Structure 1
Amino acid sequence: MNVLSRNTLSSRLALVGAAGAFLLALSACGQSVTAPPPAGEGSGAASSGTAGAIGGSATASGPVSITNCGTELTFAEAPQRAVGLSPAQTELLLRLGVGETLVGQAQTGLQALPADVASQAEQVKVLSKGEPPAREELLSVNPDLVLSPTSYEFTAEQGYASVEQLKKAGAQAYIATGGCADRRASAVVTDLVTDIENLGSLFRKPEQAAQLSKQVKDRLAAVSQANASATAPTVAQLFVDGKSLSAIGAGIEADIIKQAGGKNVFSPDDKLFESFFAAAVSPEQVASLNPDAIVFATTSDTQTASIEAYLRETFPQVTAVQENRLVAVPSANLLPGTLGNVDAVELISQKIHDR
């Protein structure tokens, strides 16, 4: 099983943290700055153009513009040479029926594509497995649209193609709405709907986008209905690295807990999270909150077993351990702009409500 390397994950967290601190200094606001804009507004609403899907093709009937991470992207015609910088973005294109536009896929080691669409990407060139592709590798396939879960994949200092370098090469970058630097701490699961609708507009696939959006909304509504009369269990969401603990108090990860019908013991309003959506915590802090469940990210069965052993040894008196509510969630399902966010909501809901 291919997995996301610990170095890549740590680098991404570090980079996003630096970006968050920079934005904090500029705007003098904390992690719980503002309520997220509704889907279709703010971070990525389709704003102009006509959409005319014809069969399985991605032909254009006029220019389309959207706003993504504060930048306007305009396509005179539907993208013809797309690259998904993670399996999540590749999957979205396949499910929208525009897989024929894919000229590259990257970070394929993050997760395997779902079995029902995997065969459609078998002939698509793999640009990287464990981390974003090098600048030269990405530019070699001459893309016109590059899709990414976060801004990390466009870090020139890491040797990746920056947004400006892509622009000079004739390509535009689309970052998942929840992965925009100024939204990282307030992102919500339904930002995924914004991404689906945006991509449906860009590729002139409004009907396919509407169907996929409805599936996402219906799945989330089913979870909400299942938990409607249930008491929300308290949940500590942790990132465990060896014996180091970080708590997640905001961002899409925290909204996943909320959507799953849980009550996070950490809050965006906590002083811990005034500069970033995650913060280092001590075992004593977690134990004092006595969560009913502990949710943690993992990249493999081996890592899951290691983290569970650590949690059982460290928190033997905590309810989550005593009642065996330790919930392992694939790290890739916590990245912005992935259908895996909904998978995570469903999984966590089942586990914390003992279903």
Structure 2
Amino acid sequence: MTHSPRPRPRTATGVLLALGLAGALTACGSGVTEPADDQREDDGRAATTVRNCGREITVSGTPEAVVGLHPAQTELLLRLGLGERIAGQAQTDAAPLPEDLRAAAESIPVLSDEAPPTREVLLGAAPDFVFAPTAYEFTAEQGFASLAQLDDAGVDAYIATGGCADRRMTGTVDDLFTDLENLGRVFGAEDAAARLADEARATLDDTARRLEGREPLTVAQVYVEGDTLSAIGAGIEYDIVRLAGGDNVFAPEDPAFADFFAAQINPEVLAERDPQALVFTVNSPEHEQATRDFLTTTFPDLDAVRNDRLIAVSGPDVFPGTLGNVDAVAAIARGLYPEAF
């Protein structure tokens, strides 16, 4: 499979599709000749070791200059109370940060707006820790710093558990709790991580209680880019719909999703399955309206369209390693079963 030098779909879910495709590439390479100076202060903390994507990461002391390679990761770092330690944010055009965090993020340097930052830009920010949503952000073939290059430069790199190359097809919302535990340990922010985890679990538990005994509605997850229609049938997205009480008409067992969590489909395929609800991700009000227009015009006889069960979800909320996964579960559940809320 070939890729353009800097692939970047214009919508957040399009980005996610690209990330999943490129995530299958091996993040490797060399070329870093001068390791970055170790800028981490000796704060007396013992080294912390966590497992991530089949690797062991041993962090000495507490990272002082961390970079979030996607707004979803920057949000999580800010929620952990690490704003003063963030040395850079990236892919800022993918989605705005939640309104309550925007002021705190104004002073954080922007390393890239669309694609992940190049190797030179990322290393130029002198990070000692990098947090990414997927393995794609470390694809040397795209000009990004590989895991090996960051290691050579003395930079620790962490990939959201659900974005590991070998887990992109089977990731679950629970992967978020692994990330919270690991990051809490790495940054000595165990209390903040535990609080966020407790709040997220409470939301999931509340949603599950409200859905008890309800007959599941059939759901199709779709993504519209112009006139192109894709279905989502695996990965974290699939688990989000499951936890929201939906019965997904596309599933990991379908041949179309044997190798990738999304597949382009013909309108006839969706019409044949006639779901009772449609879930789609958006990155702006304009994208949401365009998607609604496409679905209502293309599928006027679809059960979901006739009953106006078109449920929009923020694109970044389905990215691996984000608290938005839990928000998406609650939002979809409310859209499917408003009487339960």
Match of 2:140 in 1: 156
Change (3 A) 1:196 1:304: same
CA distance in 2 between partners of 1:8 and 1:295 (Å): 15
Change (3 A) 1:21 1:85: closer
Determine if contact 2:94/2:113 at 8 Å carries over to the other structure: yes
Pairing partner for 2:119 from 135, 139, 144:
135
SS of equivalent residue, structure 1 residue 6: coil
Deviation at 1:16, TM superposition (A): 2.5
Determine if contact 1:58/1:203 at 8 Å carries over to the other structure: no
SS of equivalent residue, structure 1 residue 73: strand
Pairing partner for 1:300 from 255, 276, 284:
284
2:95 corresponds to 1:111? yes
Give the superposed CA RMSD.
2.1
Deviates most, 294-303 or 193-202: 294-303
Change (3 A) 1:74 1:113: same
Pairing partner for 2:263 from 258, 270, 279:
279
Pairing partner for 1:16 from 17, 20, 24:
20
CA distance in 2 between partners of 1:248 and 1:137 (Å): 33
Match of 2:203 in 1: 219
Deviation at 1:114, TM superposition (A): 2.2
Deviation at 1:248, TM superposition (A): 0.9
Match of 2:31 in 1: none
Determine if contact 1:8/1:131 at 8 Å carries over to the other structure: no
2:249 corresponds to 1:265? yes
Determine if contact 1:297/1:330 at 8 Å carries over to the other structure: yes
Deviation at 1:243, TM superposition (A): 2.1
Change (3 A) 1:335 1:303: same
SS of equivalent residue, structure 1 residue 142: coil
Deviates most, 66-75 or 240-249: 240-249
Change (3 A) 1:313 1:116: closer
CA distance in 1 between partners of 2:89 and 2:142 (Å): 19
Corresponding letter in the other structure for 1:302: E
Deviation at 1:61, TM superposition (A): 2.3
Deviates most, 194-203 or 156-165: 156-165
Identity, in percent, stands at 47
Determine if contact 2:94/2:114 at 8 Å carries over to the other structure: yes
Q: Within 5 Å, give how 1:1-355 maps onto structure 2.
A: 5-6=9-10, 10=14, 13-14=17-18, 16-17=20-21, 19-20=23-24, 59-355=43-339
Q: Which runs of 5+ in 1 are unaligned?
A: 23-56
Determine if contact 2:171/2:236 at 8 Å carries over to the other structure: yes
CA distance in 2 between partners of 1:118 and 1:15 (Å): 25
Deviates most, 143-152 or 156-165: 156-165
Corresponding letter in the other structure for 1:150: T
CA distance in 2 between partners of 1:106 and 1:229 (Å): 43
Change (3 A) 1:164 1:21: closer
Aligned pair count reads 318
Change (3 A) 1:8 1:121: closer
TM-score, normalised relative to structure 2? 0.88
Corresponding letter in the other structure for 1:125: P
CA distance in 2 between partners of 1:148 and 1:161 (Å): 12
Deviation at 1:12, TM superposition (A): 5.2
Q: Which runs of 5+ in 2 are unaligned?
A: 1-7, 27-40
Match of 1:31 in 2: none
